[in-house]
Amino acid sequence: MRRGAINVLRGSVPYVTQVDNREAARGGVAGESVVNARLRAPQALRTQGRAVTAEDHKIIARQAAPSVRRVRCLPAADAPGAVRVLLVPDAVADEGDRLRFEQLIPTDQVLASVTRALDERRLIGSRLVVEPPVYQGVTVVARLSARAGEEPDQVRDAALAALFRYLNPLRGGPDGAGWPFGRPVQYGEVFGVLQGAVGDALVEEIRMFAADPITGRRGAPVDRIDIGWGALVFSYRHQVIVGPAAPEGPA
């Protein structure tokens, strides 16, 4: 449920005249369907309650926290025999596909539930680290030219929507299933996404910056932003400027 969706009292409460949910609902899940039960049964038989392979860890983590949208299992680089389980919670965007950074951090309750479930099933002698992935902020600054008859505001809105949708850890990427872990962001693909979204408008210039979504700091413009093996992208304050098309030269 999105932020601000609750604004009506179901019953009278003394001294209360208005209600409002300041944050979007999170953490809840719908009841299990028959289709999901049919999918879960083979998984339960496969794992036999043990976390051995990376897929075992993912299955058990999802069972322990159904509100988690994505799970990634990696060996811990700094500790032989340790396993990193990265959790990405599901989130409802406030506007379009624009997510707030805090929505992508699992709650302490979710981290504890998954840790407890995996700890009971891990191999003896192995260590376990359950945490959110690293998020690499990406800021795109683009300059576009609107064709005659096009509304600059509509062109700007379409361009921003395309950027926030594509550079999205939950629903972005080439297949719309969430940006792939470790996949770099390249100038050419961002250019193509923008040009495909704005129709006859012309993408004149693009600049990409690696940004820190916590501090807001960003680096110099680059043509490629590398993403760590266990990291995802996060759209951070894209900017789109739309001006009139350049006049055509003499025939």
Q: Which CATH number belongs to the domain containing residue 99 in this structure?
A: 3.30.300
pLDDT digits (tens, 9 = 90+) for 127-146: 899 999 999 999 999 999 99
Q: How far apart are CA 217 and CA 222, in angstroms?
A: 15
When pLDDT is cut at 50, 70 and 90, the band that residue 79 belongs to is low
Task: Specify if 99 maps to a domain.
Answer: yes
Are residues 120 and 203 located together in one domain of the fold? no
Neighbours of 165 (CB within 10 A): 19
The per-residue pLDDT for 251 is: 47
161-209: pLDDT as tens digits: 999 999 999 999 999 999 999 999 999 999 999 999 998 999 999 999 9
What's the mean pLDDT in 63-71?
94
Question: pTM of whole model > 0.85?
Answer: no
State the pLDDT confidence band at 6, using cuts at 50, 70 and 90.
confident
- pLDDT at 53 exceeding the cut of 90: no
The residue assigned the tokens 């999105």 is: 2
Residues 41 and 117 in one domain: yes
* pLDDT (mean) for 96-110: 93
Domain-located, residue 159: yes
152/193 same-domain check = yes
Domain ranges, residue 221: 134-244
pLDDT for the residue numbered 206: 97
153 plus 213 within the same structural domain: yes
Q: Which helix (H) or strand (E) holds 195?
A: helix 187-197
Q: Which of 71, 102, 131 is the last residue of a domain?
A: 131
Domain assignment present for residue 103? The answer is yes
**Amino acid of residue 238:** H
On whether residue 176 sits in a domain, the answer given is yes
User: Do residues 188 and 106 both lie within one domain?
Assistant: no
Packed helices 54-64 and 34-47: angle between N→C axes, nearest 10 degrees: 130
Judgement on whether residues 178 and 212 belong to the same structural domain of the protein: yes
**Residues 144 and 236 grouped into a single domain:** yes
> Do 165 and 103 lie in a common domain?
no
Whether residue 51 sits in one domain with residue 124: yes
Region 93-110: what's the mean pLDDT?
A: 91
Residue 209 lies in a domain: yes
- Of 73, 97, 131, the one marking the end of a domain is 131
Confirm whether 19 is domain-assigned. no
Q: For residue 245, is pLDDT > 70?
A: no
- Yes or no: say if 137 and 210 are a contact pair by the CB < 8 Å rule: yes
Are residues 217 and 202 part of one domain? yes
**Residue 7, in any domain of the structure:** no
User: Using 50, 70 and 90 to split pLDDT, how confident is the model at 24?
Assistant: confident
Domain annotation covers residue 171: yes
Q: Based on the fold, state whether residues 124 and 143 are members of the same structural domain.
A: no
Measured distance CA(25)–CA(28) in Å, rounded: 8
How far is residue 232's CA from residue 131's CA, in Å, rounded to a whole number? 13
Count of structural domains within the chain: 2
pLDDT at residue 38, rounded to an integer: 56
- On average, the pLDDT of the chain sits at 86
Separation CA 185–CA 183 (nearest Å): 7
Tell me the two tokens of residue 242.
């739309």
Question: Which residues, 6 or more positions from 147, have their beta carbon under 8 angstroms from its beta carbon?
Answer: 200, 201, 202, 245
Q: Do 145 and 124 fall into the same domain?
A: no
Contact criterion met (CB below 8 Å) for 83 and 127 = yes
Residue 201: Cβ within 10 Å count: 22
Q: Which of 108, 131, 154 is the last residue of a domain?
A: 131
13 has pLDDT over 80: no
